[in-house]
Structures are given as structure tokens and as C-alpha cells.
Amino acid sequence: MSEKISIKDSDLPLLFQSADKASLNAQKKNIISVKVNLSLLCAAAFLPALAVFFDEYVVFIGVVSSIALIFSLFLTGVMWFAGLDQIWFGARAIAESVKTLTWRYMTCAEPYFNTLPEREVDLQFASDLRKVLKERKYLSYSLGNTDAVGEEISEKMRQVRKSPVEERKKIYFTERLEDQKRWYSKKANYNKGAKDKWFFAIALSQIIAFLSIFCFIYWPKFVPNLTPFFAALASSFIAWLQVKQHQELAQSYNLASHELGFILAQERHVRTDEDLSNFVLDSENAISREHTLWIARRDRI
């Protein structure tokens, strides 16, 4: 019995690892920036309501509220000039494109047929990687600013490529398709739960904002006017929902998971190198469609 071959991210090309890390870093920074920015705006809306209890600190409260707005404006400018969203989406597009090429290389799918000389195939693969990077050459600095190490064609990639067709098929099904399907299913469930949670938070904030204005009208000397704060809070939740796009992602990931399930059902019909090549092309096209739609949705934000 041959030893089971497991494909990890560290076995993929250096370009993938660099793009993956650059995308994750930019995503993390972008999400943190949005959270801080929305928090500052909510704070600026909340602080003036305290003036009803602290008459002697009205000026101080106004100054602090203004500082929160200034920092929010500064942070907005930093996010704009840093282009974190462009790095996030662009680097992810590179990483996914490289992953698709890598699996085609490892499974000897078109155009990396195992009937071609090894040197010719390696040159073709390297040329295709360069084309992927060239399409987004503005990210060259961001990709080079990571601690990723490795090579463009790893020994594990060559090992899979040299395996018999049945072994390559098994590796592709388990390490690529089944793994991708599990990822889609997990993300679909997570985003559905997150969507419900944030919609509840939005509705609750709007209800409290509605109640706050009545409480302020009846007891203006005892109840602060928190309507602007809760209105800003609801707006922040809506903005956050737009950034994360939980509803759209839940639908698309669920659809992609089912589509990969249909593809996996065709395993028994893959027997030859030609069958595997055609199958890999169809599978990678299906995965690429979902990712292309993800990029398109993000570009609309």
C-alpha cells in the first residue's frame, strides 16, 4: 500500500504562499480598520448625550467627540491611500489562480500533459505563473513583503505528478475537491448564522432608537437622548453587514458546495489520463466561477 500523500499550503508554489499571506494580512488590517472607524463614529454620537448629566463638562465632552470624529476621518484617509481592500482582493485572486494552475500541473491536466518532456512542462508552468503575477503587477511589493519561503515547484508537486493516474485522481478528489467542499459547507453555515445575528442586532438597535426618543420626550431632564447613538449603531451594523456580505456569501458558498457534490459523484467515470484532465478542467472552472463572483461582489462595495 502506497503512503498517503497530503498536500499542504507549504507544498504549493511560493507565489501562492506570498499571495495568500498578503491577502490575509490585508484582510485582517482592513477589518480592524473598519471596526475601529465604526466604533469612533458611534462614540462621537454617544458622547453628546452625556451632556444632560454633566453640564460642567459640556465643553470637554464636545472636544472628545470632535477628536473621535477627527480620528475617524484620519483612519478613513489611511484606508483609502493604503488600498487594503485592493491588496486583499487582488492577492486572493492571485492565490486562487495559482492554486488552480498547481492542481492542473500535479494532475497532468491540460496543458501540462504527462506526455510532454518535464522541462517543457516546468517552463510552461513558470510562464503561466508569471502571467498571473503580471496581471496584477501593482501587488509585487505587497507580495514581496511577506515571510513566505519555498519554491515554485516543490518536490511534493513533482511526486504527485509522477504518480499513476488512479493515485492522482484519488489525491485530487480528497485533497482538492472534498477539502474545498467541506470549506464551502462550513463557510455557508457560518455566514448564515452571522447574517441572522447581525440582522437581529440591526432591528434591536432601531427599536431601541425608536423607544429612546419617546423616553427623552417624556423625561427630558432624567433621560439622555440616545436616539442618535442607537441610530448610528444600527447604521454601523448595516455597514458591517455590507463589508462582510454574509447573506450573499451564505448563498454562493452553499451553491458551490452542492455543485462540487455533483462533480464528486462523477468519480467512477474517471479512469484515464484524458478523463482526469477533462474532469480537472471542469472542476477548476466550477471553483473559479465562485471565486470570480466573490471578486465581483467585493468590487461593488
pLDDT at 239 over 80: yes
Residue 93 grid cell? 485572486
- Cα(113)–Cα(115) distance, rounded to whole angstroms? 5
pLDDT band for 101, please (50, 70, 90 cuts).
very high
Cα distances (angstroms) measured from residue 21 to each of 25, 95, 269 = 6, 9, 37
pLDDT score recorded for residue 1: 40
pLDDT of residue 12: 93
Residue 264's closest CA among 150, 146, 184, 198? 184
User: Rounded to whole angstroms, what are the CA distances from 132 to 24, 70, 105, 221, 246?
Assistant: 19, 40, 15, 64, 29
What's the whole-model pTM score? 0.82
Query: What is the tens place of the pLDDT at every residue in 259-292?
Result: 888 888 888 888 899 999 999 998 888 888 777 7
pLDDT band at 204 (very low <50, low <70, confident <90, very high): very high
Cell triple for 85: 481592500
Tell me what the pLDDT averaged over the chain comes to: 86
The 10 Å CB-count burial string (b at 16+, else e) for 28-39 is: ebbeebbeebbe
% of the chain with per-residue pLDDT over 90 = 41
How do residues 82-94 score in pLDDT, each as one tens digit?
888 888 888 998 9
